[in-house]
Structure 1
């Protein structure tokens, strides 16, 4: 693992997790995106469709396809937002709530398996590292730091 870059490790791990979830979801004629959407929709008050994309980190076109599929399968219904007639709220149907519970149990099972095989200390370190990476990315610090270092290097060389 020493010669693998951090981004490679993250990407390969996420692809393995996504593949695992998709394999499990396919047993129920679903996908990881469907399961994640089910978990992201407020099961009591519904969720504005415009809030789902950012919440799930999905592009609008992918989200639209996922929601259409979920609606076709009877997992969700769309209703006009009573507070904003232009907006739409997404609600889980009783069948959607049932599948949401299944998705939640799947995620909990994954978390339990990880916790059984990784010490709490190592897991905390992993979370801390992930938090720092996310912070660097959200602050757009990674490439700005590099360009600052390059500028300083150029000044020194001149």
Structure 2
């Protein structure tokens, strides 16, 4: 693996994780995106739709499609936000709460399996490396915006 780029390792690993999650989700007629959304919606209070996209790192169109599918499957309902009449609260139905528990179990099972196989020191190093990569990207330290030349 010495000849593989960091980008390749990140992408290949994430693709494998996403495939695994989608296989598990499909057992309940769901998808990874739906499971991820379920985990990001407050099960008691609901979550404003405007904060859900940034929380999940999803574009508005993808989120809208996911929410529409979740609504069609009876996982969520949209209600007027009592604290802000301009926004909508996404709330889980009883079925949505049940599927949220399933999604959480899937994520925790993966987490436990990784913890069984990888020692804490290596996991801490992985966490620091991942955080550093995110900081490099978020602080635009890799590709700085360039002023177009005239």
TM over 0.5: yes
In structure 1, stretches of 5+ residues that fail to align are: 148-158
3-state secondary structure, aligned to 1:85: coil
**Higher helix content, 1 or 2:** 1
Q: Deviations over 1:93-143 (max 9, x none)?
A: 111000000000000000000001111110100000000000010000012
Kindly report which structure 2 residues correspond to 1:1-158, keeping only aligned pairs within 5 A, or say none.
1-144=1-144
Give the CA RMSD over aligned residues.
1.2
Partner of 1:155 in structure 2? none
Distance in 1 between the 2:109 and 2:22 partners?
Answer: 15
Off by >4 Å, runs of 4+ in structure 1: none
Partner of 1:152 in structure 2? none
3-state secondary structure, aligned to 1:61: helix
In structure 2, stretches of 5+ residues that fail to align are: none
Distance in 2 between the 1:30 and 1:63 partners?
Answer: 15
Q: Which has the larger radius of gyration?
A: 1
Cα displacement (A) at 1:84:
1.4
Say which structure, 1 or 2, has more relative contact order (CA 8 Å, 6+ apart): 2
Distance in 1 between the 2:13 and 2:57 partners?
Answer: 18
TM-score where L is the length of structure 1: 0.90
Alignment size in residue pairs? 146
Cα displacement (A) at 1:4:
0.5
Cα displacement (A) at 1:86:
1.3
Q: Deviations over 1:68-108 (max 9, x none)?
A: 11001110000011121110000001110000000000000
Distance in 2 between the 1:23 and 1:83 partners?
Answer: 38
3-state secondary structure, aligned to 1:11: helix
